[in-house]
Amino acid sequence: MKNQEDNTPNILTEHFFRNEYGKLVSVITRYLGTHNVETAEDIVQETLLKAVDHWQQNGIPQNPQGWLYTTAKNHTLNILKRNKHQTTYKSSLHSEQVDNKLKEFTISNELIDDEQLKMMFVCCHPSISENSQITLILKILCGFSITEIANAFFTTTETINKRLVRGRKQLKEAKISFTIPKEINESLDIVLKTIYLLFNEGYSPSQQNKIIRNDLCLEAIRLVELLANNSAIKQKSKIHALLALMYLNAARFEARVQNGILIEMHKQNRELWNLSLMNRGIQYLNLTVEDNEVSEYQILATISGHHCVSPSFENTNWNAILTLYDNLLTLKDTPLIRLNRCIPLAKVKGNKKAITELVNLNNNSDIENHYLYHATLSELYIQEKNIKNAQKHLLDAISKCKNPRDIHLLEKKLKKLVPIS
């Protein structure tokens, strides 16, 4: 029991690392400036380390969020005082300015939303490359680890480290103003893309042995709601579309996990789908129709909407979904979209047609390296009663899969094909 109690502060700190990291970095950057964002990150890291130590010794405070913010504030004040007359700060902050910052330093709930919104667009400044923009947001604003970002990009930790170094250097050299830019709409696409990556990491965690990370999904929705409620953004169709997509997918969370096991859509109990979240998603989807702008998120949300309103998996409007995927390919043609398209293709034109499409896809891309390619092929071969090929691709999927959650599901399928004698 003692071990469980001793671990509680670590678990709680991990929770706050996710939920408070980006908020703290954003607020502190307001005072230190964007060229000192790495210092702001160091302050937050130090705060979290101190929390683990202090809470282990003294117990978790009644208001852990307030404790974190007060500690981060004190660290920041100490750094401002210590560096008041140093050359590094003289070039950017005159003595009088530092004094004013020390006097005005406050952290409030009212301030946090605005500062996070500013940080989103600071990270998406035109002087920073797109890959570095996304990496900076995921690291600075969302608290992703290097490994999680690498998995989101299907790349190596070394590559992500290089992007972070380059992005932070560009932030420092550009001396970007910590304000919401006048050209806010021009940077919106990259912000939405990044938040969608955040939601997907919560929907299907890449590293940890978890089915769904609700905290990441809720944080992604919260960030997009910030954008939706900001009056400076005039064109909100894509924002509404992404909110629709996230709410409609979130509506299926409870049915997607049963007793700690991932349940595939065709086996889910649809009575467990959250009607309130579903309705909210459809409301946002209706707003995109009024905006009369087609986007990737709108098409994906409409696909998700078809699943949500269908009485059963087999009675889903697969023809409509296949048409939507065809439309999506005209906007964004990627191997992963073509892979997902093969599911409605099999329902409409048969498994053999879908298998042929997947084989052709493999010949023209590197999709073979993704475990979902083999998992999808194995399912199609199972339905065609081609057990030999199904086994082969299940083994390939297991070898390429990184998350124990997904490996467990694949191994269960394999055991059903190869009963233990």
User: Over the stretch 132-155, which tens digit does the pLDDT of each residue have?
Assistant: 888 888 888 888 888 888 877 767
* pLDDT of res. 269: 92
From CA 394, how far away is CA 418, in angstroms rounded?
11
pLDDT confidence bin for 273, thresholds 50/70/90? very high
Instruction: Check residue 98 and give its pLDDT.
Output: 55
User: Could you tell me which residues are beta bridge partners of residue 261?
Assistant: 258
Q: What is the pTM of this model?
A: 0.80
**Model confidence over 68-117: pLDDT tens digits?**
888 888 888 887 777 655 545 444 545 556 556 656 666 677 778 888 88
Rounded to whole angstroms, the Cα distance separating 331 from 412 reads: 37
Per DSSP, the residues of 158-214 read HHHHHHHHHHHHHHHHHT--SS--TTGGGGHHHHHHHHHHHHHHHHS-SSSS-S--H
Q: Is the pLDDT at 322 greater than 50, yes or no?
A: yes
Name the residue with tokens 């579309």. Answer: 241
Vertex 368: Cα angle to 220 and 379 (nearest 5): 80
Q: Report whether 214 contacts 253 (CB < 8 A).
A: yes
* Pairing assessment for the beta strands 257-258 and 261-262 based on DSSP bridges: antiparallel
What's the number of CA atoms in the CB half-sphere (13 Å) around residue 263? 17
Buried-exposed string 175-192: b where 16+ CB fall within 10 A, e elsewhere: ebebebbeebeebbebbb
Taking only the tens place, the pLDDT of each residue in 363-375 is 988 899 889 999 9
Contact yes or no for 140/170 (Cβ under 8 A):
no
pLDDT of residue 189: 87
CB-based contact 43:105 (threshold 8 Å) = no
Provide long-range contacts, Cβ within 8 A and 24+ apart, for 349-354.
Answer: 351/380, 351/383, 351/384, 352/384, 354/380
Q: Indicate if the pLDDT at residue 290 is higher than 80.
A: no
What mean pLDDT is reported for the chain? Answer: 84
Nearest of 63, 55, 105 to residue 80 by alpha carbon: 105
pLDDT in tens, 149-198: 887 776 789 999 999 999 888 888 877 888 877 777 778 888 898 889 88
How far apart are alpha carbons 396 and 412 in whole angstroms? 14
In degrees and rounded to multiples of 5, residue 385 shows phi and psi of: 60, 30
Cβ atoms of 181 and 187 closer than 8 Å: yes
Continuous H helices in 364-386: 371-383
**The pLDDT of residue 3 is above 60:** no
Q: Which residues contact 225 (CB under 8 A, 6 or more apart)?
A: 243
Read off φ and ψ for residue 262, nearest 5 degrees: -70, 130
128 or 356: which carries more pLDDT confidence? 356
SS3 of residue 230 by DSSP: coil
Q: What is the pLDDT of residues 33-69, one digit of tens each?
A: 888 888 888 899 888 888 888 888 888 888 888 888 8
pLDDT of residue 358: 96
Q: 262: which strand partners?
A: 257
More confident residue, 306 or 406: 306
For the chain, the domains span 1-107
